[in-house]
Amino acid sequence: ALSQFKQSQVIHDLVPQVSPHRSRGVPAFAFQDVVSDLNQDEGVLLRFLRARDYDVDSAEKMLRNAVQWRKEIGLDGFKKWTFPPHFYTDMKFRYYGRDLEGAQVFCWLFAGTWPVKQLLESEDLEQLKRYCFGGIEQGFQLMIKYGSTGNVIIDMEGFSYLQGTDIGSLKFAYSIFQGFEQYFPEILKAIYIINAPWISLHFQLLQRSLCPKDNGKKLQFLVTRRSGMQSF
């Protein structure tokens, strides 16, 4: 459960000293009392507060929805989930490495080769979503383990015009990005989009969901892998 996630340096990377802040007349530190029945640790509370600009009411709603969602899909047991073998080759991603500033978690998402349209036509939608959210949870637990915020590289090499204009695929991507923002707030250091010069507009539109408020600065578009690797 979320309450099992330990306080770590990731929180200090993400959350400023905010005890004087107030939202709707309620001190931010009182959030712990408001959601005490959920038994969440301080790190979780701080992330959700920041995601909602320290608005206690909004943060409470967001956190309760996230806890309920995790329970409904059984995310705490994601390591026991099983998927068709071709999921791991069709929807490839890897966790490894660190950047020049020491952030220890990189997710390299080979999104350009994901046959999303074909998968949506042949596979169960909820199963596809579980695969994606299970991958996100894997990265989140690594961030907590190593005490570091995460970086995501979305590699669009091989992405075709047909993929970029398929409505079903775009809706699926949006649903994953939206879920990421709602259920895993404030865990990223940066997002790099590489090898996708023409498709950048699509991601700029999705950016509003993935990087709300002033977090758009986390998203960087890089034309080639060579230039991208120089940034790391």
In this prediction, residue 14 carries a pLDDT of 44
* Cα three-residue angle 51-52-56, rounded to 5 degrees: 125
pTM of the model: 0.78
Asked if residue 54 lies in contact with residue 28, where contact means CB atoms within 8 angstroms, the answer is yes
Model confidence at 163, in pLDDT bands (50, 70, 90)? confident
Look at 38 and 6; give whichever has higher pLDDT.
38
**In the predicted model, what is the mean pLDDT of residues 195-205?**
60
Give CA angle at 192 (187, 193), nearest 5°: 130
- pLDDT for 5 beyond 50: no
The residue ranking higher by pLDDT, 111 or 22, is: 111
The pLDDT score that the predictor gives to residue 30 is 81
pLDDT bucket at 146, cuts 50 / 70 / 90: confident
pLDDT of amino acid 182 = 94
Q: 180-216 as b/e, with b when 16 or more CB fall inside 10 Å?
A: bbebbbbbbbbbbbbbbeebeebbeebbebbbeeebe
Q: Which amino acid is at 78?
A: F
How large a percentage of the chain has pLDDT more than 90?
42
Output the pLDDT for position 3: 40
The winner for highest mean pLDDT among 122-131, 141-150, 199-208 is 122-131
Domains defined for the chain, CATH in brackets = 2-73 (1.10.8), 78-231 (3.40.525.10)
pLDDT band at 19 (very low <50, low <70, confident <90, very high): very low
Pairing of strands 105-109, 93-95: antiparallel
Main-chain phi, psi angles of 105, to 5 degrees:
-120, 120
Whether 165 has a pLDDT exceeding 50, the answer reads yes
Amino acid at 51: A
Provide the residue count of the chain: 232
Long-range contacts of residues 202-207, Cβ cutoff 8 Å, at least 24 apart: 202/164, 202/170, 203/154, 206/173, 206/174, 206/177
Model pLDDT, residue 142: 85
88-102 confidence digits (pLDDT tens) = 999 999 987 666 666
